[in-house]
A and B are shown apart, each in its own frame.
Chain A
Amino acid sequence: MTLPVTGPALLPLGIVFGFAFGWLLQRARIADTNVIVAQLRLRDYTLFKVMLTAIIVGGVGIFFLHSGGLAAYHVKPANLAAVAVGAVLFGVGMALYGYCPGTGLAAIGTGSVHALIGAIGMIAGAIAFAFSFDWIKATLLPIAAYGQIRLPDLTGIPDLVWLAAIAAVGFAALFVLDGRRHV
């Protein structure tokens, strides 16, 4: 078998990978809006624990797979003005919706009707974006656009040092913030 898989053979993998992702999100308890909102209110750190562990485990693995020629990077361009405006809109939307897009889809599977309504809202948002794309592309996207740049390229600090530092700072912060609730 040649990798990556392409063509029709990729379709059944879509269902398998999606199934695994949805299963993991539910088991991590982050398909529950109460857990997500508790994270936004800094009362429960479940969401940050899941994301930080995924970033570190995923990051170390992808670094070695990339070094071995088995995985290609897919770095999204740093159009920083659009990224900043998008991040703020997303943050407001996430507080109102109570889910991010992935956990919202997973929540539909667990019986959340309001997650389904929000997903219909997401489709409306996507349609609105598609019809404003020409304008966005002409105005916002070119501002502070630095291309597909990675932190190691920007700083000269090696990948594994970045990942070790993120792990150290992140897990230490989680330990302090989350431990405080138990004391």
Chain B
Amino acid sequence: MSASTDITTHAGVRGMRIDWTPYVMGAGIGVLSWIVFVFADDPLGVTTALSAVAGFAAMPFTGADAVWHNSYWAQTVPSLSYGSIFLVGVVLGAFAASVAARQFHVETVPAVWRQRFGNSISLRFGAAFVGGALEMYGARLAGGCASGHGISGTLQLALSSWAFTILMFGTAILVGSLLFGNAGDRR
């Protein structure tokens, strides 16, 4: 680990330390993926389960028949299953962690967005809605998201997942840099 000693030296002025938290938590996610593969025979992922749940959300608008006869929901069946309960667990786990760390706070317009686009809640909510919709459509087209492809798929060395992850982050970095400019650099 001579590399880490080096960076410590460089960062010496800032207090001689590396923040190991992202590596420790990343290793934790890696270990969790072992457990989930073995016990649930399912890769860690979000959007497959979320699109099954979306079938229920569509029913009031389209009628139940349109959902049950849809060819996509015929293969990703809307049901209260392991996957949908996993999604509830994600929200609860992050809630518990943020309360335990005293970091829970209601956020409508995040700091980095406010610095670039101002205080408008409707603008932020509009962008979040459109962004979420595009992201989900893209994830379903590609067969996975930053968890399903970006972690579970890449760790299995899947061609589809490496292609997705590299192209996805390339696009997100380009668009994110153009969109936010220097916002976030000011404190």
Contacts and interface: CB of A to CB of B under 8 A. Distances in A.
Nearest to A64: B34
B7 interface: yes
A122 interface: yes
A156 interface: no
Interface in A10-47: 10-11, 13-29, 31, 33-34, 37-38, 40-43, 46
A53 B20 CA distance: 11
Q: Which 9 A-B pairs have the closest CB atoms?
A: A18-B89, A91-B171, A22-B93, A57-B30, A53-B26, A86-B142, A121-B132, A96-B131, A40-B176
Contacts of A77: 143, 160
Contact of A88 (B32, B82, B138): B138
Given A54-B26, A94-B172, A101-B136, A151 B162 contact: yes
Contacts of B147: 100-102
B110 A114 contact: yes
Report the contact-size class of chain B (Cβ under 8 Å from the partner).
35 or more
Interface in B120-141: 124-125, 127-141
B40 to A, nearest CB: 6
Contacts of B140: 86, 125-126, 129
Interface in A68-88: 70-80, 82-88
Interface of B: 3, 6-7, 10-11, 14, 21-23, 25-44, 46-47, 50-51, 53-55, 57-58, 61-62, 67, 70-73, 81-98, 101, 103-113, 124-125, 127-165, 167-177, 179-180, 184-185
B85 to A, nearest CB: 3
A23 B97 CA distance: 5
A18 B134 contact: no
Contacts of B150: 51, 100
A90 B89 contact: no
Interface string A127-147: 111110110110010000010
Contacts of A43: 184-185
Contact of B31 (A11, A31, A61): A61
B135 A90 contact: yes
A95 B6 CA distance: 33
